[in-house]
Chain A
Amino acid sequence: MRRVLVCLLAVLGCAGAVRLAAVDARIPARWWSPGDGARLPAYATYPNTWGDVGILNTGGAVATKGHAFFEPIGANGRACVTCHQPANGMSVSVAAIQERWKATKGTDPIFAAVDGMNCPDLPPGDPKSHSLLLERGLLRVFLPWPPARDDGTSVEPEFSIEVVRDPAGCNLNPRYGLNSPAPTVSVYRRPRPVANTKYFTHHNFGVFPFVGKGPLATVRDPETGLPTAMNMMADARVSTLKTQAVSAAQTHLGVAGALDAARLQQIVDFESQVFAAQVSHRAGGSLMEPGGPPGLGVRNLAAGAAGVLGNNTTQWVFPVGEVWKTLPVGAAPRDAERNRMRESIARGHDVFMFRTFWIKDVQHLNTVGLGNPTKRTCSTCHGMHMTGMDVANGWMDLGVTNLPWAREEPLNPWNERKPQMPLFKITCKATAPPHAFLGRVIYSQDPGRALITGKCADVGSIVMQQFRGLAARAPYFSNGSAETLRDLVDFYDRRFNIGYTSQEREDLINFLSAL
C-alpha cells in the first residue's frame, strides 16, 4: 500500500511538475523601454507560454520616438509602456517583471519607489522592498482617506477603516499611512491592459445617467458631458481614457502638473486603436485562420461591435461557432493534437456559456434583482460581447479581496511564508446600508470601489477585467492572487462550489488561454 501511495504521489508530482513547467516557463519576450524609439509595427506577435499574443494597431505602425505613450515624460524615467507592454497584451506579466529585475539589477524604472516598491521609504535595490511587484505583479495604489471628490471636497465615509496587518509597512507608516498628515490608504493592484479600449469606453447598452448599483449618478465625460461606462480601473475612479492618462501620468510617471493637450491626445489616440488578443495557440495552432472561430484572434476582436450584451442568439459573448466542435482526427499526429486542442477550446467555450452553478453572495450581482443565489453561468457576469467584462459599471464583490474568500497565507508553524497583503478591518456605521452578504464588519485586503465612494456596500467591489490576451499577462485578479489560469478557474470552483470535472476544468483553461 505504501509503495502504491509513493507511486501515486510520484505520478501526481510529475503531473504537477509538467503543468508548472508548461505554465511557468520563462520565454524571453521583447521588453519595451521608455524612449526606445523603435517603430511599433501595425501588427506584431509576441510569444508566451500558451502561444503568441498579437498586437494590432488599426491606425497603422506607430512611430514611438517622441510619442507620449512611449517616452519617459515624467520624473522617474517611466513611460506608459513601462507597465503596458505589447508583449504582455498591453499589461505586464510577473514573469516579465522578474526578467527585468534580473536584467537591470532592479534599476528599471518599473521599480520606482513611488509605487514599484511596497512603500517608498524601504531600502532600494532590495528585492524584499519590491516583493509585491516581483512576486505578484502588483503596483501600489495610494488613495486619500477619506475619499476625495474631483472638486477636492471629502466624501463622508459610511465606515471606519483600521489596519489589521501591514506587511508592506505603508499603511501604518507615519509619512505615507492612514495616520500620516495626509491620510492615505495603500492597496496593491495589477496594471490593467490598455488595449481593446473601445469595449470599455463605449456609450451603448448599459450606459445610462444613473447607476443602479450604488446608487449614483453616472460619472460624465468632462469634455462631452455624456455618461460614461464607468468600467475602467479596478475601482472605476476615473472613467475616460483622458482622465485616466492625466491621473496615471501624475501618480505613476511623476509628471508635475497637467500633461499638455497634444500629448494627452496622442496617448488617447494610441490607446483607442490598439488591440490585443491571443493569435496562436501552442497546441491549437493559428487562431486567425480564415473560416475559423469568428470571435478569436485580434483582427476579429478589432472588428467587433462594442457595448453589446452577449447572448447565444445574435451576439455570443465570445463567438466560437461550430467549426471546431467536431474535427477530423487528421493524418499526421501533429494535426490530431491540434484538432484535439481545438475541440477542447470549443468545449471550454460551452462550459463558459452553459455550465450552470449557484452564484451566491456576490454584492452588486446577487443584489441587482437576480436573487441570491442565482443558478447561472460564467457568461452571466462576464457578458460583454468580445471581452467578457460586464457591459457597464462592472464592479462587484466576488470575494477576490474580501475575507473569507480572498487568498490568504495559511498560518501555522510549518509554513515559513508570511502574509504579503495588507488587511483592513472595515466597520460600517449602524445607519449605513450594510454589505448585503458580509454585514457591517468586513475584513478586506483591498476595499476596492469603497475607497472611492465611501459606501459600506461597495467594500471589496472590483471592476471585472477583460478576458483578452490572458495568456500573455499572468497573474490574474486585481490582487494577482491567481498565478495561472488554473488558479483562476480553481478560485471560482472553490468560491461557488461548482464541482468542475477535470475535463471541464481543462477545457475552460484551454478556452481562456485562446482568448
Chain B
Amino acid sequence: MTRQTAVALLLATASTSAAPGPHRNFVACPIVRDTSTVPCWLAEYEGEQYFLTLQTDVSAPVNPPQLGHQVLVEGVVSNEPRICGGIVLKPVVLSVLPELDNSCSTVLPAEERYNLTFEPPRPPGPSKGRLAFDPPPQAAAARPAPEAAAGPRTFALQYDFDGLVAFRHAQQLQQIYEFALKSKTTRVEITAYRAASMLSNDTLFAEREDIGRRRAEQLASLLKDAGLPGVTIDVRWRDAARPDGVNDAALRRAEVLVK
C-alpha cells in the first residue's frame, strides 16, 4: 500500500465517521439471538439484518425490545463492525409498540460465529464485577453539579411511540417534583406532543390521535398525586412538527415548565 493510498483511506474513514450514516426507520418484529454470554437484539428490514442492542440492565441508555410486540426502530447506520451478524445502528431509538403481535416470536440459538468479541456491559446473571446500578467511572465524573432550585426551568421527557410514562421516567419525574418543591413554584405548565415518524419507505407513521392529551393529563395527574400543594398545573397538547426521518424520536415529547 502506498502512503498516498493510506492517506486516502484514512480520509475516507474520517469522512465516514464524521458524517452521519443513512437513517433506517422501520417497524419490524424484533429478533433475539442467544450468545454464550448475553443475547443480542436484531431486526430485519428490506432483507438486511440490523443490530439494535444487547441485553444490559434497566439503567442502560437503550433498552431491548420485546417479543410479542413489533418495534419501531429509528436509527443511524454506523460504520462499526457487525455485531451478532447485524449492521450496527447507532444511535438508535427503540419503541415497543403497545399492541400484542404474537407473530414476533423469533429466538435464534447461539452460534459460535456470532459470539461477542467484547465483554458485555453486564453478564446475564448477577452483576459479577460491576454493580448493575453503579454508573461507569466516566459517567459518574461527567455527572452535572446540582442546579440551583430557582425557576423557571423546563424539563423534557421523551416517549416511546404511542407510549405514556414508562419505567425509565421515574427519575425524571422525581427531578421535576423535587425542583417544584424546592423552587416553591405555584405554577407548572405541561405541554405534550403527538408526533409521527417518517419511515425509510416514505410512510408517515403517526401516533394515535389522543396521545398528546393523554401524555399531558397523565403527567399532571402523577405530579398532583405526588403532592404539590398550592401548585396550579396547566395542561395543553398539540401536534409536533412534521417529521423528516432524521430526528423524529425527539418529537415525541412533553415539556414541563416549572415557573
Q: Is B99 interfacial (CB-CB < 8 Å)?
A: yes
Q: Is B80 interfacial (CB-CB < 8 Å)?
A: no
CB contacts under 8 Å to B, within A282-314, are: 309-314
Task: Specify the chain B residue showing the minimal Cβ separation from A433.
Answer: B98
Q: Shortest Cβ distance from A350 into chain B, in angstroms?
A: 10
Inter-chain CA distance A205–B131, complex, in Å, is: 13
Please determine whether B68 and A372 come into contact, CB atoms closer than 8 angstroms.
yes
Please determine whether B125 and A356 come into contact, CB atoms closer than 8 angstroms.
yes
CB contacts under 8 Å to A, within B138-192, are: 164-171, 173-174, 177-178
- Contact partners of B55 in chain A: CB under 8 A: 370-371, 374-375
Please determine whether A309 and B170 come into contact, CB atoms closer than 8 angstroms.
no
- Contact partners of A213 in chain B: CB under 8 A: 167
Please determine whether A210 and B170 come into contact, CB atoms closer than 8 angstroms.
yes
Task: Specify the chain B residue showing the minimal Cβ separation from A437.
Answer: B68
Please determine whether A358 and B98 come into contact, CB atoms closer than 8 angstroms.
no
Contact of A369 among B58, B131, B218 (CB under 8 A): B58
Q: Is B107 interfacial (CB-CB < 8 Å)?
A: yes
Contact of A217 among B69, B168, B171, B226 (CB under 8 A): B226
State the total of A-B contacts with C-beta under 8 angstroms: 137
Q: Is A434 interfacial (CB-CB < 8 Å)?
A: yes
- Contact partners of B38 in chain A: CB under 8 A: 375
Q: Shortest Cβ distance from B245 into chain A, in angstroms?
A: 26
Task: Specify the chain A residue showing the minimal Cβ separation from B162.
Answer: A433
Q: Is B75 interfacial (CB-CB < 8 Å)?
A: no
Q: Is A377 interfacial (CB-CB < 8 Å)?
A: yes
How many B residues have CB within 8 A of the partner chain? 48
Inter-chain CA distance A370–B55, complex, in Å, is: 7
Q: Shortest Cβ distance from A310 into chain B, in angstroms?
A: 7
Please determine whether B67 and A373 come into contact, CB atoms closer than 8 angstroms.
yes
Please determine whether B222 and A375 come into contact, CB atoms closer than 8 angstroms.
no
Inter-chain CA distance A209–B228, complex, in Å, is: 12
Give the interface size bracket for A toward B.
35 or more
Q: Is A18 interfacial (CB-CB < 8 Å)?
A: no
Please determine whether A212 and B125 come into contact, CB atoms closer than 8 angstroms.
no
Inter-chain CA distance A213–B174, complex, in Å, is: 14
Q: Is A436 interfacial (CB-CB < 8 Å)?
A: yes
Q: Shortest Cβ distance from A104 into chain B, in angstroms?
A: 46
Q: Is A366 interfacial (CB-CB < 8 Å)?
A: yes
- Contact partners of A437 in chain B: CB under 8 A: 68, 100
Please determine whether A371 and B124 come into contact, CB atoms closer than 8 angstroms.
no
- Contact partners of B226 in chain A: CB under 8 A: 209-210, 217-218
Please determine whether A311 and B126 come into contact, CB atoms closer than 8 angstroms.
yes
Q: Is A27 interfacial (CB-CB < 8 Å)?
A: no
Contact of A311 among B131, B166, B167 (CB under 8 A): B131
Q: Is A360 interfacial (CB-CB < 8 Å)?
A: yes
The 10 closest A-B pairs by CB, nearest first: A371-B64, A212-B167, A372-B66, A217-B225, A369-B58, A369-B63, A217-B226, A212-B170, A368-B167, A312-B126
Residues of A within 8 A of B (CB): 205, 208-213, 215-218, 220, 309-314, 317, 353-354, 356, 358, 360-361, 366-377, 379-380, 431, 433-434, 436-439
30 examples of A-B residue contacts, CB within 8 angstroms: A208-B170, A209-B178, A210-B177, A211-B170, A212-B165, A212-B167, A215-B164, A215-B218, A216-B225, A309-B132, A353-B125, A356-B124, A356-B125, A358-B107, A368-B58, A368-B167, A369-B168, A370-B58, A370-B64, A371-B65, A372-B65, A372-B67, A372-B68, A373-B67, A375-B38, A376-B125, A379-B126, A433-B164, A434-B98, A436-B100
